[in-house]
Amino acid sequence: MSALSLSRYMTVQWRSLLFILAAIIFSYTIFTTLIRVDYDFKGPISASAGSWRPGYGTTGLHQELVKPPGLKVIAIVFYGRRDRSQILHCFLMRNLVDHGGWLDEVHWIRNTDDQQDLDYLDQLLTYSNRYKQLFQERTKEQGYSDAWSKLQPGHIYVKIDDDVVWMADDAIPRIVTTKIQHPEYLLVSANMINSPLMGWLHYRAGAVHPYLPEMSPEDPSETTIKQNQSYEGDIQRASWKHVDHPLWQGPDGFVFAYHQKPPRDGHRWLRLPETPASTAQLRRTPVVDTTYDTWGAGLQSWAIAAQHHYSFLENLYNGDLQVYKFAAGAKPWITDWDRLSINFIAINSSEILSHLPIPAGVVDEEWLTVTLPRSIGKSVAVDTQSVAAHLSFFFQSEVSSTDLLGRYLDYAEENVCRKV
C-alpha cells in the first residue's frame, strides 16, 4: 500500500467513523425525545419566542440574577380551577430548577371541592416530584390564613394565584432577588397586569391601547377564526397575536364604559385603528375611568381588566414590555400602606412565621400589605422589572366571557409548554 493510498484509506475510515458517531448521536436524540411523556418543556429559558427578551439563564444579559447557593425557593399556589392552572402549570414547570429556573418546589394548596378540579390536581402532582400537596383538607373558614402557618422557616416563598396566566422568565428571580437584597421590604410583588394599583400606573404610562369588544354577533372574518380554534379542556383556544385578528369596526361615536355588560359569551376585543388622534380613541374605552385605588373601577370592572390584557398581549407580541418597567437600577414602586393585591409576591417565611397569627377578622392580604408592615415599620414594594399577568379578580368574573383564557393558553402551548 503506497503512502498515498494509505492516507486515502485513513480518510475513508475517518469518514465512516464520523458517520457512525453522527448516527449514534442522532438516534440517541430521537430516542430521548420519544421516551419523554406527554409534555416537553421548552426550556431552560430560551430566547426562541419571537419578541421575547432573551432569558436570564442563557445570555448573560441578566448576570445580576444569581440564585444564592443554599437558598430554597418555594412557590405556593392556592389551587382551585383546572382551566386556569393548566396554564400556570406550564410556567411553573419552566421555572423549576431542573429547567433552569429558581423554584426548588411547588406547594399546591387545595382550595376547591369540585371533584374534577381535584382529579386534575392529582394529575398535576405526577408531573414532578418537586410538586407537592401541602395538606389535604380544604382551608375553609379562615380563608387562606391557615396556610401561612404551614410555611417552613428559612426559605423564600413565592405566592402565586392559580389564575396567573403569564409570567416573564425573569419574574421569579427578580422578586426573589429584590426581597433578599432589601430586608426593609416585608414583601415584594411582581408588576401585575390587571392590578387595581399598578393598572392605573400602566394606563398613565401609555401601556394600554384602544381596544373595544366586538359588537357584531357574527361576521365573515370571525368564521375564519373559529375554524382555526381548537378545544383544550374547557377552553376554546384562540391566537394570542393581535395581528391574527381584524381591527375593530363600528360607528365613530361608539363608546364602551367600564360598567357595561359583555356583549355575549366567547366574544373578543379588537384594536381600534391607530390614527394621529389615538388618544381620542382611548377616550372611547373603559380604561380611562381607572383610578389609583384598591377598591376602584380597576378592581370592579371586567372591561378594564380585559383592556389591560388585550393591550398586554399586543405589547408582548411587539417586544414592548419595557413600557411597564422603570429604568434599570431605579427603585421599586412603594405602596405603603395602601392595600395591594397579592397575586404574585415574594416573602421570607421566617419573617412571616415570627409575626403570626393573623389577628381575627383581618384577611391575609390586608395583614401582609397594610397591618403588619405598618406595625413593624417595613415597606411593601412592587418590582416593576418583574412582569406577570393575573387573569381576573372575583369581581371581574365576566372576563371569562372573552376569549382571553384561550389566548393565554395559545401562548403557553406555543412558547412554554409543548405537547409532543
Ligand X SMILES: *[C@@H]1O[C@H](CO)[C@@H](O)[C@H](O)[C@H]1NC(C)=O
Q: Interface residues with ligand X (CB under 6 A)?
A: 71, 156, 180, 224-225, 228, 239, 244, 348, 350-351
Nearer to ligand X (CB atom), residue 128 or residue 249: 249
- Helix H segments across 207-317? 220-228, 278-282, 297-300, 302-317
Q: Whole-number minimum distance, CB 208 to ligand X, in Å? A: 24
Nearer to ligand X (CB atom), residue 104 or residue 338: 104
Q: Whole-number minimum distance, CB 232 to ligand X, in Å? A: 16
Taking the C-alpha atoms of residue 235 and residue 402, their distance in angstroms, rounded to an integer, is 11
**Triad 337, 345, 172: Cα angle to 5°:** 140
Nearer to ligand X (CB atom), residue 59 or residue 230: 230
Nearer to ligand X (CB atom), residue 97 or residue 180: 180
Q: Whole-number minimum distance, CB 222 to ligand X, in Å? A: 10
Nearer to ligand X (CB atom), residue 151 or residue 303: 151
The residue sitting closest to ligand X, measured at its beta carbon, is 348
Q: Which residues are bridge partners to 192 per DSSP?
A: 388
90: left (phi over 0), alpha (psi -120 to 50) or beta: alpha
Nearer to ligand X (CB atom), residue 21 or residue 71: 71
Which grid cell is 24? Answer: 449514534
In angstroms, the first-to-last Cα distance of the chain is: 53
Segments of 96-149 assigned E as strands: 105-110, 131-133
Residue 213: CB partners within 8 Å, gap ≥ 6? 256, 262, 263, 267, 268, 269, 270, 303, 306, 402
Compute CA distances 222 → 232, 268, 310, 315, 370, whole Å: 19, 10, 17, 23, 46
| CB 133, CB 108: distance < 8 Å | yes
Q: Whole-number minimum distance, CB 332 to ligand X, in Å? A: 16
List the one residue out of 206, 212, 213 whose CA is nearest residue 279. Answer: 206
Nearer to ligand X (CB atom), residue 162 or residue 232: 232
Nearer to ligand X (CB atom), residue 249 or residue 291: 249
Nearer to ligand X (CB atom), residue 98 or residue 244: 244
Q: Whole-number minimum distance, CB 154 to ligand X, in Å? A: 7
Q: Whole-number minimum distance, CB 51 to ligand X, in Å? A: 18
Taking the C-alpha atoms of residue 109 and residue 354, their distance in angstroms, rounded to an integer, is 22
Q: Whole-number minimum distance, CB 244 to ligand X, in Å? A: 4
Q: Whole-number minimum distance, CB 228 to ligand X, in Å? A: 4
Nearer to ligand X (CB atom), residue 207 or residue 372: 372
Q: Whole-number minimum distance, CB 104 to ligand X, in Å? A: 13
Percent of residues in the chain assigned helix, strand, coil, to nearest 5: 40, 20, 40
DSSP string, 321-383: GGGG-PPTTPPPEE-TTS----SEEEEEHHHHHHHPSPPTT--HHHIIIIIHHHHHT-EEEEE
Taking the C-alpha atoms of residue 299 and residue 340, their distance in angstroms, rounded to an integer, is 11
Q: Whole-number minimum distance, CB 225 to ligand X, in Å? A: 5
Taking the C-alpha atoms of residue 393 and residue 195, their distance in angstroms, rounded to an integer, is 9
Q: Whole-number minimum distance, CB 180 to ligand X, in Å? A: 5
Buried b (16+ CB within 10 A) or exposed e, 287-312: bbbbebebebbbbbbbbbbbbbbbbb
Nearer to ligand X (CB atom), residue 238 or residue 391: 238
